[in-house]
Structure 1
């Protein structure tokens, strides 16, 4: 008898990569056992895995976070550098765009109709005053490189912006429309005096630093000295809005407390509930808005 031909099912199929069907692939993924071509191969702890299994594994791995829930990043303070870049860009524009400073500074008399001034003033500085912006940016860099990794980028920016708004709100609280006698004497007080600078927001970072250090059980003695010196300078040097410093400091401390002392879970190894943190930060913002509205309603 002649030899029978082999069944088509008995012919061994050439393995091909699922992602690149035109390529023969005799190496198989150690996880899913599918063929994988050299382009799709990724070295693993044992053998080779395909790119799909590597991506799936990355999605199931819990991201490492700090004690306050901040995501562990590559160490670059991206948010801090962005804030500094914005301040520097606005400072340059102030030198070349006539009237820009008067349009972004916080003026209590204009805050109700132009509420953006509560926050834009924190990105502007005294035109031509290099010392003013240099000190603020240096302080922002020092505080940011420490606080941003602890809090995470989004909540660090939130603390900064809340502190800026808080500084403007307290500046507003100390201002009242001048009386007719004051107007006749040429004294318009704080009601028509503009304030600019990141100092209020930076003081908010000072306050946040103190709260977080206390929560971590670390010393903050040096910061008390820095705050004390700046507090004295606010009353000694003319033109410094100590009211904004005070408001920023209190707001930043409150925002940090909302993060440091809330959202903790029962397991000490579990990251804090960041939704609770955001709820606390939104609550602080609402309080600031209500206080500002109440002040404008009171002065009529």
Structure 2
């Protein structure tokens, strides 16, 4: 018998699996690929390496404000979970409310009770609040709510806030992306706490409303920037301002107003930052500057309270 000709004896194998015979080539790199390594393409098939290389060269889709497009509002879910867990914790241990609520300046008496701050306090009394270095109160208070013992509004407080966060937060997160949305929420919460510190330092305050007013303000700013129906967004803003006025009778209007102003400033920076490669840098810079201003104001107010000049 005559030996096989070279064309008949040549066997082509997959470049990744040398033991697997195959006859299909990648249309990009021209290497032989087996069925396990084939990836369908517009024309023919690609190998896994060419697919991976192509994915790196594809520009990632972004929202209108530069954030990554997300399919699930994970930050909103996480914030709701943190608020609910904090509420359950304060129900089990009511002392959490006293220790972590927003409080600029107060006194703890020898009997363990809480008293209004005085420039000079009697022997046996000790300062509490931000003036005592409890800076964490500026953020922790934004995750606490009125306990059930406060009557019907005690339950409604967290229910109303979480419903608002669910309805508005998901929309804003989808528009901004997770990191920008989280920055908005955190700065709005801090801004609300700061205005409480400035205008009502001896009042103990709790609630996510400051942060939610900031998120709601961002909803309005972003909707206007995207060209939404002005009548619809104006009605939304009118309702928000109406609630700000009505809330003065039952909750901390200072926290609401502070969150509204801070959230508006952050949203304006996000919405009107120039497009292009520097947009993220401009947005991040605006957040850092705003954070620095809020921190300096908090430190200055705390120092003034401690020295009796506020």
**Same fold at TM > 0.5:** yes
Unmatched segments (≥5 aa) in structure 1 = 176-189, 266-270
Aligned to 2:147: 127
Structure 2 unaligned residues grouped into runs of 5+: 106-128, 149-153
For residue 90 of structure 1, report the CA deviation from its aligned partner: 1.4
Query: What does 1:118-157 correspond to in 2, within 5 Å?
Result: 118-128=138-148, 129-157=154-182
Q: Give the Cα separation in 2 of the matches to 1:25 and 1:89.
A: 57
Matched, 1:158 2:183: yes
Give yes or no for contact 1:121–1:195 (8 Å, CA) kept in 2.
yes
Instruction: Note if contact 1:24-1:37 (Cα within 8 Å) is conserved in structure 2.
Output: yes
In the alignment, structure 1 residue 255 sits paired with structure 2 residue 266: yes
- 2:62 corresponds in structure 1 to 65
Among 96, 101, 111, the alignment partner of 2:130 is: 111
**CA distance 1:293–1:12, shift in 2 (3 Å):** farther
Q: CA deviation at 1:217?
A: 3.2
Residue 168 of structure 1, aligned match among 193, 199, 221: 193
Using the alignment, how far apart are the partners of 1:26 and 1:94 within structure 2? 68
Q: Does the 8 Å contact 2:245/2:253 carry over to 1?
A: no
Q: What residue in structure 2 maps to residue 213 of structure 1?
A: 223
Check conservation: 1:203, 1:252, Cα contact below 8 A: yes
Q: Secondary structure at the match of 1:114?
A: coil
| CA distance in 2: counterparts of 1:272 and 1:287, whole angstroms | 22
TM-score when normalising by structure 1: 0.84
Q: What is the CA-CA distance between 1:284 and the residue it aligns to?
A: 0.7
Aligned Cα RMSD in Å? Answer: 2.2
Instruction: Give the TM-score of the pair, scaled to structure 2.
Output: 0.81
Paired residues of 2:185 and 2:212 also in contact (CA < 8 A): yes
Pair 231,222 (structure 1): closer, same or farther in 2 beyond 3 Å = same
CA contact (8 A) 2:104 2:302 kept: no
The answer on whether the counterparts of 1:263 and 1:277 sit within 8 Å (CA) in structure 2 is: no
Deviation at 1:253, TM superposition (A): 0.2
